[in-house]
C-alpha cells in the first residue's frame, strides 16, 4: 500500500496523539509521585546507563598496556553519540569518595562490536585520577561521561602524506586514528618518543603496523638517545615539510615541532594537542568568595579558580581543564584574575559579570565569583 | 535554666581564657583529622543510606497500594514512616548542612538537594544553618529557643499566653513540618509583609508551592493510584507524616531543651573568639545515648554536641569522634549533657510545662519522687529558682 486511506490517516493521528498524551500523563504522574526528587533518581538506582539518563559508563575491563599505562574499556550509556578518532572524552571518576573530572583520549575502534569504548591512561607521578584508573579501577564501576569532543582529528579527505609526532601518552589520540583509519592513509610516518622500548604504549601493535607496511615507525628512546629535538626530527623525516603534521605530547615537544616546521618553511598545516595548559605566569593570589554557595577560600596565584572552588566544596562547572572547551566559564562579579597561560589580567567591578574561564584563571587579589 | 552569665555557679568559672583557646585548638585538630581522613568509606555510607531509604520508600508505597488489607497498611505505614524519618534526618538535614559537599557529586550536594518536608531547602538552610548554628542558644538571637511561640528559658518574660504552651508544643509536634515552614518564614514577625514586601511574598509562594507538591504526592496521587484502597492509603500517609513529625520534633527538642543545657546572654557573644564559640556549642547542646539504630534514626543528632561543634562533618563520623570530644569535656571539667531518648524527651517536656508557669511555681516538681513530696512542693510554691540538673550518662 503506498498511500494511507482517508479513514486511516486521521485514526492514526488520533492514536498518536493519544499515545503522546498518555506518555505525558505518565511522566507527570511519576514526577508528582517522586517529588521532591525526580523519577530519574529512582531509575538511576537500577539502570544508570539507560536512554535519557545523565551520561555514564560502566567499566568492563582494565587492560595493562605498560607498567604505568592501561586501557579502560567502558560500556557507555545508551545516549553515547560515538566519537571521531583522535577525540577525547571527559570522565568523572570517584577517587577517595571525591568525584574528579579528567579528559582522556579514546583509543578504541569507533564501531566496536561489543559497543564499548576505550580510553588509555598513563599514570603520571602524583596524578590522583590517572593512578587510580591504571592501578585501582575495578570492573563494574560506573563512571560519569560526557560526549566525545576535540578537534585533533583527521579531515574527511585524508592528506596524501601524514606525519604523526608523539611522545609518551601523546600516542593515544594517534592510536585512535591508526586503529580506525590506517587503511585509508597512504603514506604515514610516526615518530614516537618514549624513555625505553618497554615504555612505548601500544608498542607491539605499532611495530606490527610498521612490519605490515601500514606506517613507517621511528621510535626514539630518550633514555638512551636523549630527547627528540629538531635535528633528530629532520633526520628521521627528511620530507617533513611536505607532510601534514599531527603532534601530541609535552609542551617542549610541540614547541620543537612548531619551530622546526617554521624554519623549514613548511606549507602543510600543523595540528597539535596538549594534555595540560602551558602555564607561563602566576598572579598574586587572594581571597576568593563564591557568592551563591557562600564559600570563601584563600587561593594562591598559581591555583586555578576551578581547583580552589572545588577544594572549598563549591559545585564548579568544569570542562577540559586546559582552557579549550569553555565548560567552566563563570561570571566574575568583582575582583581581578590573571590568565595562567598568557598573563592577561581581567578585572571586574561591582555590578559586572565578566565571564572568565576558571580552569586557567587564578586570583590576583580578592575575587567574587557568581557560583 | 538561666542564661549562663547570670548564674552564680557558672559552669565555666574555672576556665581561663587560655584554657578556652586550648579547647578550641584541640577541637580544630579533631576536625582536621576527620577532614583529612574523609574518603571512599564515607561516600559509600551516604550512598548506601540513600539507596536503602529509596528502596524502603518505594517498597512501602507499593505495599500501600493494597492498604485495604490491614497487614499491608501496617507494614506500609511503618516502612513509610521510617523512610520519611531517614530522609529528613540522616539524609536531608545532613546533606543540607553541606556534610557531603566534599564528594563533589551534584546529586548529593547542599546546593541542589530538596527534601521531603514542607519547608523548602533553601529557606530552611538560612534559618537553620546561618541563624541557629551561629547564634546557638543565645536568648533573643536563636529563634530555635522556643521557636518564637514558647517560653523555654527563665529569662524569657512570662505572659499568660504561655500557660497554653504544653498544648502548643504538642500541636507543633504533630504538625512539625508546617511549623518549621512558618518558622523559617518568621511568619509571626513578618505577617504584615505578606501584603507589602514582594520579596517576602515570593518566599511565601515558594513555601506554598512546596507544600502543594508534598500534599499532591501524599494525599492525592498516591491514594488515587491505590484504587479501592484510596481512603486507607490517604490515612496511612497522614499517619506516616505525623509519626515523622512527632519523631523529628522529639529529637530536636532533645538537642537544646533538656535540663542542663546552657543558654547565653545576647551581648555575651560580642567579639566571641573561636574558642568561646566552640565552648558555647559544647554547653548549648545535649546528646541522646543509645545504639546504632538510635543514631541512624536521629540522623546522628543523638550526637548533637558533636554536630554543633562540627556541623559540616559527615554524620557517620560523629560517633567516631565523640570519645575524643567527651575526653575534652572531662579534662576541662565540663559536663557532657547526655541521656537516653525517653529521659531527654521527658526532661524537655518537663521544662516546657514548668516554664508555662511563672518562674519558680513548679520549681520543686522537678525533684518530686512521691505524692507526699508533690504536696510538699505545692505548699512551698514560689520558693527557690529551678534546680539545675546535669545528667551524666
DSSP string, B249-298: HHHHHHHH-STT--BB-GGGGTT--HHHHHHHHHHS--EEE--HHHHHHT
Query: CA triplet A97, B114, B116: central angle to 5 degrees?
Result: 115
- The A244-248 sheet, strands edge to edge: A216-221, A187-194, A161-167, A244-248, A270-273
Ramachandran sector of residue A251 (left: φ over 0; alpha: ψ -120 to 50; beta: rest): alpha
The pLDDT, as a whole number, for residue A283 is: 63
Q: Tell me the average pLDDT of chain B.
A: 88
Q: Which residues of B touch A313 (CB under 8 A)?
A: 98, 101-102, 104
Residue among A35, A97, A98 minimizing CB distance to B213: A35
**Hey, which residues does A95 pair with through a beta bridge?**
A98
Q: Which three cell numbers stand for residue B38?
A: 574523609
Per-residue pLDDT at A1 exceeds 50:
no
Instruction: Give the closest-approach CA distance of B283 to chain A in angstroms.
Output: 27
Q: Which burial class, exposed, middle or buried, applies to B290 when counting CB atoms under 10 A from its CB (0-12, 13-18, 19+)?
A: middle
CA neighbor of A121 nearest in space, from A210, A59, A79: A59
Q: Which three cell numbers stand for residue B231?
A: 481512603
CA neighbor of A332 nearest in space, from A351, A317, A316: A351
Q: Are strands A187-194 and A161-167 parallel, antiparallel or unpaired?
A: parallel
Q: CB under 8 Å to B151, separation ≥6 — which residues?
A: B158, B162, B165, B355, B356
**Hey, which residues does A271 pair with through a beta bridge?**
A246
Provide the percentage of residues in chain B whose pLDDT is more than 90. 67
The pLDDT, as a whole number, for residue B385 is: 36
- The answer to whether residues A328 and A347 touch, using CB atoms and an 8 Å cutoff, is no
Per-residue pLDDT at A322 exceeds 80:
no
**What is the rounded distance in angstroms from the CA atom of residue A175 to the CA atom of residue A86?**
8
**What is the rounded distance in angstroms from the CA atom of residue A117 to the CA atom of residue A130?**
17
CA neighbor of A122 nearest in space, from A168, A174, A73, A69: A69
Contact at CB, A315 and B216, closer than 8 angstroms: no
Is B37 an interface residue toward A (CB < 8 Å)? Answer: no
Contact at CB, A29 and B214, closer than 8 angstroms: no
**Hey, which residues does A143 pair with through a beta bridge?**
A57
Contact at CB, B104 and A29, closer than 8 angstroms: no
CA neighbor of B118 nearest in space, from B79, B56, B78, B176: B176
Question: Closest residue of A to B218, CA-based?
Answer: A33
Q: Which three cell numbers stand for residue A202?
A: 601500544
- The helix (run of H) or strand (run of E) holding residue A167 is strand A161-167
Q: Which residues of A touch B106 (CB under 8 A)?
A: 315
Distances (CA, A) of A304 to A23, A94, A135, A357, A362: 46, 21, 27, 9, 5
Residue among B43, B98, B106 minimizing CB distance to A97: B43
Angle between helices B230-256 and B40-64 (to 10 degrees): 140
Q: What would the pLDDT profile of A280-319 be if each residue is shown by its tens digit?
A: 555 678 899 998 888 899 998 889 999 999 888 888 988 7
Q: What would the pLDDT profile of A324-336 be if each residue is shown by its tens digit?
A: 777 788 999 988 8
Residues in chain B: 393
Q: Are strands B287-289 and B338-340 parallel, antiparallel or unpaired?
A: parallel
Q: What would the pLDDT profile of B33-53 be if each residue is shown by its tens digit?
A: 999 999 999 999 999 999 999
Per-residue pLDDT at B351 exceeds 60:
yes
Contact at CB, B214 and A35, closer than 8 angstroms: yes
Residue among A32, A45, A94 minimizing CB distance to B221: A32
Residue among A37, A96, A293 minimizing CB distance to B39: A96
The pLDDT, as a whole number, for residue A27 is: 92
Ranking A56-70, A282-296, B230-244, B301-315 by mean pLDDT, the lowest is A282-296
Is B387 an interface residue toward A (CB < 8 Å)? Answer: no
Q: Which three cell numbers stand for residue B191?
A: 505577617
Is B129 an interface residue toward A (CB < 8 Å)? Answer: no
Stretch B174-188: mean pLDDT: 90
**What is the rounded distance in angstroms from the CA atom of residue B361 to the CA atom of residue B376?**
13
Q: Which residues of A touch B99 (CB under 8 A)?
A: none
When pLDDT is cut at 50, 70 and 90, the band that residue A123 belongs to is: very high
**What is the rounded distance in angstroms from the CA atom of residue B53 to the CA atom of residue B58?**
9
Per-residue pLDDT at B286 exceeds 50:
yes
Is B107 an interface residue toward A (CB < 8 Å)? Answer: yes
Q: Which residues of A touch B233 (CB under 8 A)?
A: none
Stretch A165-170: mean pLDDT: 95
Q: CB under 8 Å to B115, separation ≥6 — which residues?
A: A36, B87, B88, B91, B92, B93, B96, B121
Contact at CB, B54 and A45, closer than 8 angstroms: yes
The pLDDT, as a whole number, for residue B383 is: 37
Is B166 an interface residue toward A (CB < 8 Å)? Answer: no
Q: Which residues of A touch B104 (CB under 8 A)?
A: 98-100, 310, 313, 315
**What is the rounded distance in angstroms from the CA atom of residue A297 to the CA atom of residue A335?**
14
Q: Are strands A216-221 and A244-248 parallel, antiparallel or unpaired?
A: unpaired
Evaluate the omega torsion of the peptide bond into residue A36 and state whether it is cis, within 30 degrees of 0.
yes
**Hey, which residues does A72 pair with through a beta bridge?**
A62, A119
The pLDDT, as a whole number, for residue B282 is: 95
Q: CB under 8 Å to A314, separation ≥6 — which residues?
A: A290, A293, A295, A371
Residue among B55, B104, B213 minimizing CB distance to A99: B104
Q: What are phi and psi of A151, to 5 degrees?
A: -105, 0
Q: What are phi and psi of A155, to 5 degrees?
A: -70, 160
The pLDDT, as a whole number, for residue B257 is: 84
The pLDDT, as a whole number, for residue B386 is: 36
The pLDDT, as a whole number, for residue B369 is: 52
Per-residue pLDDT at B128 exceeds 90:
no
Contact at CB, B104 and A310, closer than 8 angstroms: yes
CA neighbor of B125 nearest in space, from B105, B107, B109: B109
- The answer to whether residues B119 and B214 touch, using CB atoms and an 8 Å cutoff, is no
When pLDDT is cut at 50, 70 and 90, the band that residue A274 belongs to is: confident
The pLDDT, as a whole number, for residue A236 is: 94
Is B47 an interface residue toward A (CB < 8 Å)? Answer: no
Contact at CB, A98 and B44, closer than 8 angstroms: no
Q: Which residue has the cell 546535669?
A: B390
Q: Is the alpha carbon torsion for A246, A248, A251, A257 positive or negative?
A: negative
Ranking A136-145, A199-208, B315-324, B349-358 by mean pLDDT, the lowest is B349-358
Question: Closest residue of B to A311, CA-based?
Answer: B102
Give the three-state DSSP class for A63. Answer: strand
Contact at CB, A36 and B213, closer than 8 angstroms: yes
When pLDDT is cut at 50, 70 and 90, the band that residue B393 belongs to is: very low
The DSSP letter of residue A83 is: -
Q: Which three cell numbers stand for residue B91?
A: 539524609
Contact at CB, B214 and A97, closer than 8 angstroms: no
Stretch B62-84: mean pLDDT: 98
Q: Which residues of B touch A45 (CB under 8 A)?
A: 51, 54-55
Question: Closest residue of A to B106, CA-based?
Answer: A315
Residues in chain A: 371
When pLDDT is cut at 50, 70 and 90, the band that residue B191 belongs to is: confident
The pLDDT, as a whole number, for residue B1 is: 55
Q: CB under 8 Å to A24, separation ≥6 — which residues?
A: none
Is B350 an interface residue toward A (CB < 8 Å)? Answer: no
- The answer to whether residues A134 and A123 touch, using CB atoms and an 8 Å cutoff, is yes
**What is the rounded distance in angstroms from the CA atom of residue A359 to the CA atom of residue A308?**
10
Is B55 an interface residue toward A (CB < 8 Å)? Answer: yes
Per-residue pLDDT at B11 exceeds 60:
yes
CA neighbor of A42 nearest in space, from B155, B298, B165, B107: B107
Q: CB under 8 Å to A354, separation ≥6 — which residues?
A: A331, A332, A346, A347, A348
Q: Which burial class, exposed, middle or buried, applies to B249 when counting CB atoms under 10 A from its CB (0-12, 13-18, 19+)?
A: buried
Ranking A79-83, A247-251, B208-212, B310-314 by mean pLDDT, the lowest is A247-251
Per-residue pLDDT at B374 exceeds 50:
no
**What is the rounded distance in angstroms from the CA atom of residue B267 to the CA atom of residue B262?**
15
Query: CA triplet A198, A202, A208: central angle to 5 degrees?
Result: 100
Ranking B2-16, B81-95, B226-240 by mean pLDDT, the lowest is B2-16
CA neighbor of A124 nearest in space, from A201, A184, A16, A22: A201
Q: Which residue has the cell 497500594?
A: B65
Q: Which residues of A touch B61 (CB under 8 A)?
A: 33
Instruction: Give the closest-approach CA distance of A311 to chain B in angstroms.
Output: 8
Is B331 an interface residue toward A (CB < 8 Å)? Answer: no
Q: Tell me the average pLDDT of chain A.
A: 90
Contact at CB, A36 and B115, closer than 8 angstroms: yes
Q: Which residues of A touch B221 (CB under 8 A)?
A: 29, 32-33
- The answer to whether residues A57 and A143 touch, using CB atoms and an 8 Å cutoff, is yes
Provide the percentage of residues in chain B whose pLDDT is more than 70. 90
Amino acid at each position: 500500500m503506498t498511500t494511507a486511506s482517508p479513514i486511516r490517516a486521521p485514526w492514526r493521528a488520533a492514536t498518536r496523539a493519544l499515545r503522546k498524551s498518555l506518555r505525558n500523563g505518565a511522566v507527570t504522574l511519576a514526577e508528582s509521585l517522586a517529588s521532591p526528587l525526580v523519577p530519574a533518581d529512582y531509575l538511576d538506582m537500577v539502570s544508570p546507563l539507560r536512554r535519557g539518563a545523565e551520561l555514564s559508563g560502566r567499566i568492563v575491563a582494565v587492560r595493562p598496556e605498560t607498567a604505568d599505562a592501561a586501557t579502560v574499556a567502558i560500556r557507555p550509556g545508551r545516549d553515547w553519540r560515538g566519537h571521531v578518532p583522535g577525540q577525547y572524552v571527559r570522565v568523572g571518576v570517584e577517587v577517595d569518595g571525591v568525584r574528579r573530572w579528567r579528559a582522556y583520549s579514546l583509543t578504541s575502534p569507533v564501531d566496536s562490536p561489543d559497543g564499548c569504548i576505550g580510553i588509555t591512561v598513563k599514570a603520571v607521578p602524583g596524578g590522583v585520577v590517572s593512578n587510580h584508573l591504571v592501578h585501582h579501577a575495578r570492573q563494574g564501576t560506573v563512571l560519569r561521561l560526557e560526549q566525545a569532543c576535540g578537534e585533533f582529528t583527521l579531515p574527511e579527505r585524508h592528506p596524501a602524506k601524514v606525519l604523526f609526532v608523539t611522545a609518551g601518552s601523546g600516542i593515544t589520540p594517534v592510536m585512535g586514528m591508526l586503529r580506525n583509519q590506517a587503511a585509508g592513509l597512504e603514506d604515514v610516518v610516526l615518530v614516537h618518543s618514549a624513555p625505553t622500548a618497554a615504555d612505548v604504549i601500544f608498542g607491539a601493535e605499532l611495530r606490527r603496523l610498521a612490519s605490515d607496511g601500514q606506517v613507517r615507525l621511528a621510535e626514539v628512546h630518550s633514555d638512551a638517545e636523549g630527547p627528540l629535538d629538531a635535528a633528530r626530527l629532520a633526520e628521521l623525516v627528511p620530507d617533513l615539510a611536505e607532510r601534514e603534521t599531527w603532534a601530541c605530547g609535552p609542551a617542549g615537544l610541540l614547541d620543537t615541532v612548531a619551530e622546526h616546521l617554521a624554519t623549514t618553511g613548511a606549507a602543510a598545516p600543523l595540528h597539535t594537542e596538549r594534555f595540560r595548559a602551558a602555564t607561563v605566569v602566576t598572579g598574586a593570589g587572594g581571597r576568593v568568595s563564591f557568592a551563591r554557595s557562600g564559600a570563601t577560600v584563600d587561593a594562591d596565584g598559581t591555583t586555578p579558580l576551578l581547583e580552589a572552588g572545588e577544594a572549598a566544596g563549591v559545585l564548579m562547572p568544569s570542562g577540559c581543564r586546559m582552557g579549550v572547551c569553555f565548560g567552566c566559564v563563570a561570571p566574575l562579579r568583582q575582583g581581578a584574575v590573571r590568565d595562567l597561560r598568557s598573563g592577561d589580567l581581567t578585572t571586574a567591578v561591582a555590578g559586572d559579570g565578566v565571564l572568565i574561564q576558571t580552569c586557567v584563571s587564578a586570583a590576583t587579589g580578592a575575587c567574587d565569583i557568581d557560583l | 535554666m538561666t542564661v549562663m552569665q547570670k548564674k552564680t555557679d557558672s559552669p565555666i568559672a574555672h576556665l581561663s581564657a587560655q584554657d578556652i583557646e586550648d579547647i578550641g585548638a584541640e577541637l580544630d585538630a579533631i576536625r582536621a583529622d576527620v577532614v583529612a581522613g574523609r574518603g571512599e568509606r564515607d561516600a559509600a555510607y551516604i550512598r548506601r543510606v540513600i539507596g536503602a531509604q529509596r528502596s524502603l520508600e518505594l517498597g512501602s508505597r507499593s505495599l500501600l497500594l493494597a492498604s485495604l488489607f490491614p497487614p499491608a497498611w501496617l507494614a506500609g505505614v511503618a516502612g513509610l514512616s521510617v523512610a520519611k524519618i531517614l530522609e529528613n534526618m540522616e539524609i536531608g538535614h545532613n546533606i543540607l548542612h553541606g556534610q557531603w559537599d566534599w564528594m563533589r557529586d551534584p546529586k548529593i550536594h547542599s546546593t541542589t538537594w530538596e527534601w521531603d518536608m514542607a519547608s523548602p531547602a533553601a529557606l530552611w538552610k538560612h534559618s537553620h544553618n546561618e541563624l541557629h548554628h551561629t547564634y546557638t542558644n543565645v536568648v533573643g538571637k536563636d529563634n530555635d529557643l522556643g521557636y518564637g511561640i514558647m517560653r523555654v528559658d527563665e529569662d524569657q518574660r512570662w505572659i499568660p499566653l504561655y500557660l497554653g504552651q504544653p498544648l502548643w508544643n504538642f500541636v507543633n509536634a504533630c504538625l512539625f513540618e508546617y511549623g518549621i515552614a512558618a518558622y523559617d518564614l518568621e511568619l509571626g514577625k513578618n505577617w504584615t509583609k505578606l501584603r507589602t514586601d514582594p520579596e517576602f511574598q515570593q518566599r511565601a509562594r515558594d513555601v506554598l508551592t512546596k507544600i502543594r507538591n508534598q500534599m499532591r504526592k501524599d494525599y492525592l496521587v498516591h491514594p488515587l493510584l491505590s484504587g479501592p484502597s484510596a481512603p486507607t492509603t490517604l490515612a496511612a500517609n497522614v499517619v506516616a507524616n505525623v509519626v515523622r513529625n512527632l519523631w523529628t520534633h522529639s529529637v530536636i527538642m532533645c538537642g537544646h531543651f533538656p535540663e542542663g543545657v546552657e543558654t547565653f546572654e545576647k551581648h555575651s557573644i560580642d567579639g566571641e573568639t573561636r574558642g568561646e564559640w566552640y565552648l558555647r556549642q559544647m554547653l548549648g547542646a545535649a546528646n541522646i545515648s543509645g545504639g546504632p539504630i538510635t543514631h541512624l534514626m536521629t540522623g546522628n543528632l543523638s550526637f548533637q554536641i558533636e554536630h554543633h561543634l562540627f556541623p559540616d562533618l559527615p554524620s557517620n563520623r560523629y560517633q567516631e569522634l565523640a570519645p575524643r570530644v567527651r575526653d575534652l569535656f572531662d579534662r576541662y571539667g565540663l559536663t557532657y549533657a547526655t541521656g537516653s531518648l525517653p529521659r531527654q524527651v521527658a526532661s524537655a517536656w518537663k521544662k516546657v510545662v514548668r516554664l508555662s508557669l511563672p518562674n519558680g511555681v513548679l520549681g520543686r516538681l522537678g525533684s518530686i519522687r512521691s505524692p507526699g513530696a508533690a504536696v510538699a512542693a505545692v505548699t512551698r510554691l514560689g520558693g527557690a529558682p529551678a534546680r539545675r540538673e546535669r545528667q551524666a550518662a
